[in-house]
Structure 1
Amino acid sequence: MDELVRKRQNPAHQLTPKGRAIEEESFRIVDEEAGPHGFSPWEWPIVRRMIHATADFEYKDLTRFRPGAVEAGLEALKGGARILVDARMIACGLNPERLRIFGNEVVELLSHPEVVARAQTTGGTRAETAVAYAEEKGLLQGAIVGVGNAPTFLLALVEAIRRGARPALVLGMPVGFVNVAEAKRALMEAPVPWIVTEGRKGGSTLVVAALHALIRLAADGGVDTSRTLRGG
């Protein structure tokens, strides 16, 4: 199939010629201004889209990948894995047409009535309670987990992983000042595939950008996910 026709029919790409032209020119500018980097051909499209979404080139230096993380994420997306997120903003930011390519359901539990009631009873955060609920219901197994807001969500997730939960991929990108860097460091020691923005910087926008980049890679068949995955 002609490349232009394929992109026009693929909802992972902008659907109008003008939209595609603007996006591709933006990516060209990011590539040019970013200069040399040490990311693999499969990692860079994710970092590039994160920079594109924020106009912040610091993410070139802050973004870390566990070896095999991209491959694990693509395999999970293609298999229809659920996407569990810590903020409604992430769920709202994900393009429904792109999610329909592989049938990935987005799950946000912080507003779930049972989670809210439990948090009010125990005095814990809704983020911590949401992870506990997801672990009880088996929702963490094989899921892609996107954390762009709450470090308590990420810390609780790491504890769940230590107890045996195995998400397919964790995007650890919370933003803030309390326990943010610590939560990310804890994730980077966990035996699961992860993509992390080091330090205090992060946010829901970055998780959305990373997920859209992964969906586009998966839809384009850009990575041979049949090869052995290097992630834990």
Structure 2
Amino acid sequence: MDELIKAQKNPAHQMTEKGRAIEEESFRIVDLEAGAHGFSPLQWPIVRRMIHATADFEFKELTRFSEGAVEAGLKAIQEGARILVDARMIACGLNPERLRLFGNEVVELLAHPEVVARAKATGGTRAEAAVAYAWEKGLLQGAIVGVGNAPTFLLALVEAIRQGARPALVLGMPVGFVNVLEAKRALMEAPVPWIVTEGRKGGSTLVVAALHALIRLAADGGVDTSSAFREG
């Protein structure tokens, strides 16, 4: 009963009893069908929610974590870190009430006038220009960066990291065919915490799912409180 009351008051959980029941049953099914895995108790809730969001169990095999990545992400969220994203779709998909729990601001720069002007002047992508702008303005330091769309954003981010940028966590999940594999490999060699989906698969939906999972873990004190996990 105490856990039910806690969930009802916690915007990181579904608002209604029926909503919570559906979500928990979905998690139970994912746990059952996914079977054995090597993820830690902090990693699995993130992978599970990514599977839940896509109905694609291949992410059990594709998702990789650097050492301490989840812990770094939870600390950043709890400290109110900025969340910088490469696509408006991610910003729109994040639940405002959950973001308000720790005061995490979401920043998406592709339509910023200075970013657009820089892209036109250089002939590069707006994604590249957005990273350059964020690096110059100090927006990368200590931020959680979510990349679900543009490999050029991720490649530019890795270059900024080589120059000294230090985001708290990078979710490297761009989808596509050009420079996707190269961008993800580059991130996995970078000296920052990261969560990556290997191969061509990725997308904004996955970044949103991973961020919501991190926020829920942060709100629950780093413990997965879903009945599915406790029973498993």
Counterpart amino acid of residue 67 in structure 1: E
Residue of structure 1 equivalent to 2:185: 185
Counterpart Cα distance in 2 of 1:96 and 1:118: 30
Residue-by-residue CA offset, 1:26-66 (whole Å, 9 max, x unaligned): 00000000000000000000000000000000000000000
TM-score, structure 2 length as denominator? 0.95
Residue of structure 2 equivalent to 1:93: 93
Residue of structure 2 equivalent to 1:63: 63
Residue of structure 2 equivalent to 1:4: 4
Counterpart amino acid of residue 2 in structure 2: D
Counterpart Cα distance in 2 of 1:213 and 1:111: 27
Unpaired segments ≥5 residues, structure 2: 224-232
Residue of structure 1 equivalent to 2:226: none
Counterpart Cα distance in 2 of 1:16 and 1:74: 25
Specify the SS of the correspondent of 2:101.
helix
Residue-by-residue CA offset, 1:127-151 (whole Å, 9 max, x unaligned): 0000000000000000000000000
Specify the SS of the correspondent of 2:208.
helix
Specify the SS of the correspondent of 1:6.
helix
CA shift at 1:11, angstroms?
0.1
Residue of structure 2 equivalent to 1:52: 52
Specify the SS of the correspondent of 1:102.
coil
Residue of structure 2 equivalent to 1:77: 77
Residue of structure 2 equivalent to 1:167: 167
Residue of structure 1 equivalent to 2:207: 207
CA shift at 1:222, angstroms?
2.1
Unpaired segments ≥5 residues, structure 1: 224-232
Counterpart Cα distance in 2 of 1:218 and 1:84: 18
Specify the SS of the correspondent of 2:149.
coil
8 A contact 2:74–2:222 mirrored in 1: no
Residue of structure 1 equivalent to 2:106: 106
Counterpart Cα distance in 1 of 2:24 and 2:10: 15
Counterpart amino acid of residue 30 in structure 1: V
Counterpart Cα distance in 1 of 2:29 and 2:82: 33
Percent sequence identity over aligned pairs? 88
Counterpart Cα distance in 1 of 2:150 and 2:2: 43
Residue-by-residue CA offset, 1:105-155 (whole Å, 9 max, x unaligned): 000001101100110111010000000000000000000000000000000
Residue of structure 1 equivalent to 2:228: none
Counterpart Cα distance in 1 of 2:222 and 2:134: 31
Residue of structure 2 equivalent to 1:21: 21
Specify the SS of the correspondent of 2:175.
coil
Counterpart amino acid of residue 4 in structure 1: L
8 A contact 2:145–2:167 mirrored in 1: yes
Residue-by-residue CA offset, 1:163-183 (whole Å, 9 max, x unaligned): 000000000000000010110
Specify the SS of the correspondent of 2:39.
coil
Counterpart amino acid of residue 167 in structure 2: P
Runs of 4+ that moved beyond 6 A: none
Counterpart amino acid of residue 123 in structure 1: G
Equivalent pairs counted in the alignment come to: 223
Counterpart Cα distance in 2 of 1:222 and 1:101: 14
Counterpart Cα distance in 2 of 1:172 and 1:165: 16
Q: CA RMSD in A?
A: 0.7
Counterpart amino acid of residue 105 in structure 1: E
Counterpart Cα distance in 2 of 1:222 and 1:210: 14
Residue of structure 2 equivalent to 1:30: 30
Counterpart Cα distance in 2 of 1:36 and 1:26: 17
CA shift at 1:159, angstroms?
0.3
Counterpart Cα distance in 1 of 2:34 and 2:48: 9
Counterpart Cα distance in 1 of 2:166 and 2:114: 23
